[in-house]
């Protein structure tokens, strides 16, 4: 089916529109934009820059997808924004492109960004991520899969948030949040295992126990990170995917663990 474009929408020459695309009144689609099959861009929404949206994404009114970075190091060129399938961008969301030519901000599939939330330049966001209203993710942040960033949280540049982690409302994240954990506070500290989240995701009782073991080793036994990693690797559960993911995350941290 051909795209359904409202007569007042502006679709610049060069934009690539897939099948069954719908573009609402007064929306703007830039010349370097690619919209996958089934995308919906509601009235007064903007998709611009070198931006690629996968199939069945939905952009709500007044959102700005693909805007120019706010990084002062930016130079003229066409950095990009690559977005997977079935992402939802609610009202007034902003997602910026990379900083320099050849650099990309990347989002995976099935993410939901609630009203007024922001993703800055050069971030890498995984799949099944929820970013709640008024939260902001600064430049070069890496967010894993099945992550929940709650209302009004802020994530510092270059931080990472691991798979199945949660950053609580109003938190200020300045260090890496390990997978399977909940971080809260200003600055954010890892408080507990995200038991509800990983249980709902189908993790086994053994895996949930392993996550609790990691929390105890890294946060309750007075060990430094190197000691905790060494002890974790010696555990009988060390072949458990939860332990392996947690240890690999801890080994690769540059900002330290929250």
Determine which one of 122, 163, 176, 184 is catalytic.
Answer: 122
* Candidate list 96, 121, 140, 146, residue with the active-site label: 121
3-state helix, strand, coil in the chain (%, to 5): 15, 30, 55
Among candidate residues 54, 84, 139, 162, the one labeled active-site is 139
Residue 176 annotated as catalytic: no
Is residue 128 annotated as part of the catalytic site, yes or no? Answer: no
215 in Cβ contact with 122 (< 8 Å): no
Pairing, β 166-167 against β 181-185: parallel
Q: Where are the strands (E) in 80-238, listed by range? A: 80-83, 88-89, 94-96, 104-107, 112-113, 118-119, 124-125, 130-131, 136-137, 142-143, 148-149, 154-155, 160-161, 166-167, 172-173, 181-185, 188-193
Distance CA 90, CA 132 (A): 10
For residue 211, give the H/E element and its range.
Answer: helix 205-219
Told to judge if 139 belongs to the known catalytic residues of this protein, a careful annotator would answer yes
Residues serving a catalytic function are 121-122, 139
């Amino acid at each position: 089916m051909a795209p359904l474009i409202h007569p007042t929408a502006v679709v610049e020459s060069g934009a690539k529109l897939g099948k069954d695309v719908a573009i609402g009144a007064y929306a703007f689609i830039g010349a370097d934009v690619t919209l996958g099959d089934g995308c919906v861009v509601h009235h007064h929404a903007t998709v611009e820059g070198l931006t690629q949206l996968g199939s069945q994404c939905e952009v709500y009114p007044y959102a700005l997808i693909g805007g120019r970075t706010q990084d002062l190091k930016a130079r003229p060129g066409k950095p990009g924004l690559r977005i997977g399938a079935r992402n939802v961008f609610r009202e007034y969301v902003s997602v910026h492109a990379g900083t320099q030519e050849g650099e990309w901000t990347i989002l995976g599939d099935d993410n939901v960004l609630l009203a007024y939330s922001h993703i800055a330049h050069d971030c890498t966001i995984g799949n099944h991520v929820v970013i709640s209203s008024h939260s902001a993710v600064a430049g070069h942040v890496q967010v894993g899969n099945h992550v929940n960033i709650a209302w009004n949280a802020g994530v510092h540049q270059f931080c990472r948030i691991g798979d199945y982690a949660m950053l609580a409302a109003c938190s200020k994240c300045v260090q890496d949040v390990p997978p399977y954990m909940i971080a809260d506070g200003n600055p954010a500290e890892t408080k507990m295992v995200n038991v509800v989240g990983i249980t709902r995701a189908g993790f086994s009782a053994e895996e949930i126990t392993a996550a609790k073991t990691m929390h105890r080793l890294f946060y309750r036994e007075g060990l430094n990170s190197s000691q905790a990693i060494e002890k974790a690797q010696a555990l009988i559960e060390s072949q458990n995917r939860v332990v392996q993911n947690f240890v690999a995350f801890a080994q690769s941290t540059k900002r330290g663990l929250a």
